[in-house]
Amino acid sequence: MDFRMNSPAGKAILAHAREGDYAHPGEEDAILAAVEGLPRDAIRRLLDVGCGRGGTADWFQRHGWGEVTGVDIDAVSIDEARQRYPEIRFVRQDVCRMEPARFSGFDLVYLFTALYAFPDQPEALRRMRLAARSGAFLLLVDYTRPAGSPPPPELGPEIGNPIESETVADTLDAAGWKLQTQEDWSDRFAGWYEDLLKRFERERDWITQTHGPDWYGYVTGWYGALRRALGEGRLGGALIRAVAKD
């Protein structure tokens, strides 16, 4: 069995527990807080990188932000997203292989807990810069870790490569982005995951009947460990905003 939260089954369980096609903490609250103060008038074309099942792309399009393109490497998620939100353009695409011929001129590039999952983050950021116009905005909601510390080992490879808050400005700069603001969202993440664990408990019967008891054990175990790591400061969360340099 493919026990990974980023597998189609993992994302389906998250979507059910969160009552929306979201695989990021905080669901709509996180989106609302992340976009606060962004100049809407300057934004018409949006790129959702690591869009998963498309709930966030749908939120932006439904709330009149403009025309959204969602990209994700996972074919099953892209198929689901296309079926559920047919008015949105979803493309199966590895972010590190995006070419300007197909992806360019975006005014806002956003990622909700996706960058941590990319094996080559500098290349992903560079490709996203190529897809953006000069002065475009980059919005990252993601996991963080203290500089020099490995990600919590009990979370295994699933936790990928959380952002190092201390070095993110340089990483962005090297890829053509200028850091604007960085907000510590660790307490928000901890609260959101507390809430998610309660939702799993409430949905125990659905998860075991639909996906089996092993999946219930996996999601509660993994997110329980994630919640503890957040409480102990070995993992954090952040909202990062940057603009595309000329």
Ligand X SMILES: C[S@@+](CC[C@H](N)C(=O)[O-])C[C@H]1O[C@@H](n2cnc3c(N)ncnc32)[C@H](O)[C@@H]1O
Judged by CB, which is closer to ligand X: 36, or 205? Answer: 36
The answer to whether residue 182 forms part of the interface with ligand X (CB under 6 A) is no
Spell 139-158 as b/e; 16+ CB within 10 A means b.
Answer: bbbbbbbeeeeebbeebeeb
Task: Give 56's strand partners.
Answer: none
Binds ligand X by CB under 6 A, chosen from 9, 13, 23, 34: 23
Binds ligand X by CB under 6 A, chosen from 13, 47, 61, 74: 74
**C-alpha to C-alpha distance for 70 and 91, rounded to whole angstroms:** 6
Binds ligand X by CB under 6 A, chosen from 46, 117, 226, 235: 117
Judged by CB, which is closer to ligand X: 135, or 157? Answer: 157
**C-alpha to C-alpha distance for 68 and 57, rounded to whole angstroms:** 6
> In degrees rounded to 5, what are phi and psi of residue 131?
-80, -10
**Non-local CB neighbours of 15 within 8 Å, separated by 6+ positions:** 21, 22, 23, 53, 55
Task: Give 106's strand partners.
Answer: 132
The answer to whether residue 193 forms part of the interface with ligand X (CB under 6 A) is no
Q: Which stretch binds ligand X (CB under 6 A): 73-81, 145-153, 161-169, 191-199?
A: 73-81
Number of residues that bind ligand X (CB under 6 A): 22
* Torsion angle, alpha carbons of 86, 89, 92, 95, to 10: -150
The answer to whether residue 28 forms part of the interface with ligand X (CB under 6 A) is no
Binds ligand X by CB under 6 A, chosen from 12, 13, 17, 24: 24
Contact positions with ligand X (CB under 6 A) in 76-105: 77, 94-96
State the residues that interact with ligand X by CB under 6 A.
6, 22-24, 50-52, 55-56, 71-74, 77, 94-96, 112-114, 117-118
